[in-house]
Amino acid sequence: MKALFPLLAFISAAISCYGQSKDTLGYSKLADAIFFSNKKEVSYSNVYFVNDLPDKGSESFLSNYFFPIEAVTIFGGFKKYLELKGTLKDSSGYYHSKCKSINIDNCTFEGDLRFSNVIFDGTFSMRNNEFPVVSEDFVGLYGQKFGGAILIDSCKFNQYIQILFRKDHEYRFFAKFNHSSFNSFNVELQNSTTQILNSLFKNLFRLQLHKESRISIDSTEFLNLQNDESLNMEFDDISSVSITNSKFTDTSNDFCRLNLNCKRINLENNEFNVNTDLSFSESNLFVNNNKFLKYLTLDFNSIDRNSYLSLESLKNLNFGIFQGDYYDATTVDQINNDIALKHYLRLNKNLYDFFKETGDLSSANQTYVRIKEIESTKLKFLFYSKPNFKNLFSLKLNQLLKFYTNYGTDPARAIVISIYIILFFGIFYFFFPSDWDITSKARLIRNFKDFTKKNKKGRGKSFIKLLKAFTISILNAVTLSLNAFTTLGFGNIPTHGLARYVCILQGFIGWFLLSIFTVALINQAQF
């Protein structure tokens, strides 16, 4: 009886292992089902696929991972097998899958799986499959090997493709979608490296990456997305994302969601003809030469100090935040939304801190001006709702700071405006008597009379006298204006009548404006 228990345990374990074991099929059987079966649906679950293709399904392609570009041999492709079976291509050089639905779930592949020059008229779905065998080809970004790979090259998916890998696995998975078009694309990967090159996506694009994944998207177009869930990228603290030379186009008012929570982000030479909602955490950014032709909204915590941001690629700070709709603090309802307003100001302040700490004075100044403009908008609506002296003074002071020094960021502008003010008051003083200019004024009038009475031969000398007296009078008037503006002090004010009171007023204006100029100058000098 004691010997019976170990025997029963062994039989039970054997039955359990047998129940958990996977059926074994060759890649060729998978190809037969996809290309020759004419079934409405092809489904596999818990199958171990062995690569029994001719020459392991080897194919050659030109790799841009090496310089100069060279031919690389890859494996797991169906081309040679289809050619041996005499499969015909269409006039455009494509093979066609015969079935309307392909579902491969919880299967294990001995090697890579690759489809080239195939049109899938039906749906294609792979969920929670395993590719544990080390890849035989060099498909990595730097020639490194991966646990397994899926390559979609020069294919067309007329319905949808779905590839979901939600299981944790030790190896790095590689996926390539190159030179292909997708009507509906839904991919979620763990611990992976993904490349999308020179492809077209329409109607639906959903991409979720997790666990130290990387992705590169280059020379790709995203077209005619139908709603706010049609284009959605969600990255969960992955290693890096690079989107370059690509185009996003949508005629609707929905937002393209780019949730790029990763360590390194590269956005360069892209065109976003779509409302774009861009969010990231504390990332190392390289954002340059992008065009946002519609609304741009941002959301981030902070920016790594080694980042590079061009203001042109941020629509020159003409961005908002996404609060169910576009928010840029320009309407009464938006200003009254205190939570959204503070969040919006915080984002602008984070940008200002980044530019200031990285020594980019010009960008920091532009960002600071943007913050003050938001404040001015709030003060304007506050005065309209509560028209009292305090609110009026705050509003007009902000407007004066904008006019005179561009909110303290442009001292040179203050000098130019001050010169115009001095000249304006100088012209005014020219027409009033002055202790400095009694003789010259009388002489100016006398010379003018002599000039009008003289004949043509004597007018030259009179004109010189008139010009000299006029110049002295102008210089005296401008000197008086400069003295008043700079508040150097007169003792007794050397002018009479209305000009005396105007001179006092100019002194106050000069004191006030020069104080603002001094603060602006110190602010820029101590940046």
**Secondary structure string (H, E, C) spanning 128-165:** CCECCCCCCCCCCCCCCCCCEEEEEECCEEEEEEEEEC
Domain boundary among 281, 316, 351: 316
Range of the domain at 242: 198-316
**Are residues 462 and 378 both part of a single domain?**
no
Residue that is last in its domain, among 294, 316, 338: 316
In a domain, 124, yes or no: yes
Q: Tell me the whole-structure pTM to 2 decimals.
A: 0.78
Name the nearest CA neighbour of 433 among 446, 423, 424, 442.
Answer: 442
How far are the Cα atoms of 136, 167, 190, 331, 396 from residue 177, in angstroms, in the given order? 19, 21, 17, 44, 58
- Looking at the structure, tell me whether residues 393 and 477 fall in a common domain: no
Indicate the average pLDDT of the chain: 81
Look at residue 466 in the predicted model and tell me its pLDDT: 64
| Model pLDDT, residue 456 | 57
Same-domain check for residues 228 and 167 = no
Q: Are residues 375 and 451 in the same domain?
A: no
pLDDT band with cut points at 50, 70 and 90 for residue 472: confident
Q: What is the pLDDT of residue 18?
A: 38
- Write the DSSP symbol of residue 495: B
The tokens describing 340, both together, are: 């959204």
- Residue type present at position 428: F
Give a yes or no: residue 191 inside a domain.
no
* DSSP annotation of 230: T
Residue 16 in any domain: the answer is no
Q: What is the pLDDT of residue 103?
A: 95
Distances from the Cα of 208 to the Cα of 91, 283, 414, 462, 500, angstroms: 36, 18, 52, 89, 75
Instruction: Mark whether 420 and 488 lie in a shared domain.
Output: yes
Q: What is the mean pLDDT of residues 359-388?
A: 89
Position 432 scores a pLDDT of 75
Q: What are 407's two structure tokens?
A: 């909110």
Residue at which a domain ends, from 148, 181, 214: 181
Could you tell me which residue, 227 or 9, shows the higher pLDDT?
227
Sign of CA dihedral 13, 18, 20, 22: positive
Residues 490, 438 share a domain: yes
Same domain, 156 and 47: yes
Please indicate, yes or no, if residue 33 is contained in any of the structural domains: no
Is residue 322, in this structure, part of any structural domain at all? no
Is 102 inside a domain boundary?
yes
Together in a domain, 151 and 206: no
The whole-number average pLDDT for the span 7-27 is 56
Bridge partners for 206 per DSSP: 186, 232
Whether residue 107 is found in the same domain as residue 49: yes
Q: How many CB atoms lie within 10 A of CB 178?
A: 20
In angstroms, the CA 423 to CA 40 distance is 88
The whole-number pLDDT of residue 442 equals 62
Instruction: Give yes or no: residues 387 and 468 share one domain.
Output: no
Contact (Cβ atoms closer than 8 angstroms) between residue 131 and residue 171: yes
381 and 498 in a single domain? The answer is no
**Average pLDDT for residues 246-274, to the nearest whole number?**
89
Question: Residue 4's pLDDT band (boundaries 50, 70, 90)?
Answer: very low
* 38-to-23, 29, 99, 118, 408 alpha-carbon distances in Å: 23, 14, 5, 15, 74
**What pLDDT does residue 112 have?**
86
Average pLDDT score over residue span 79-96: 88
Number of domains forming the structure of the chain? 4
DSSP letters spanning 302-340: -B-TT-EE-GGGGGGG--BEESSSEE-S-SHHHHH-HHH
Q: What is the pLDDT of residue 241?
A: 93
Higher pLDDT, 368 or 133: 368
Tokens of 174: 């590689």
Per-residue confidence at 351, pLDDT binned at 50, 70, 90? very high
Q: Is residue 506 part of a domain?
A: yes
At 497 the pLDDT is 67
207 and 271 inside one domain: yes
Q: Coil, helix or strand for 399?
A: helix
Residue 15 has a pLDDT of 35
Q: How large a percentage of the chain has pLDDT more than 90? A: 30
Predicted local confidence at residue 452, as pLDDT: 65
Task: Write the CB contacts of 264 (distance below 8 Å, at least 6 apart in sequence).
Answer: 239, 240, 241, 283, 284, 285
Three-class SS state of 251: coil
**91 in a structural domain:** yes
Q: What are the backbone dihedrals phi and psi of residue 41, each rounded to the nearest 5 degrees, phi first?
A: -140, 135
Question: Rounded distance, CA 295 to CA 315, Å?
Answer: 9
Residue 146 has pLDDT above 80, yes or no: no
pLDDT at residue 48 in the model = 94
Is the CB of residue 209 less than 8 Å from the CB of residue 186? no
Residue 266: both structure tokens together: 């590269």
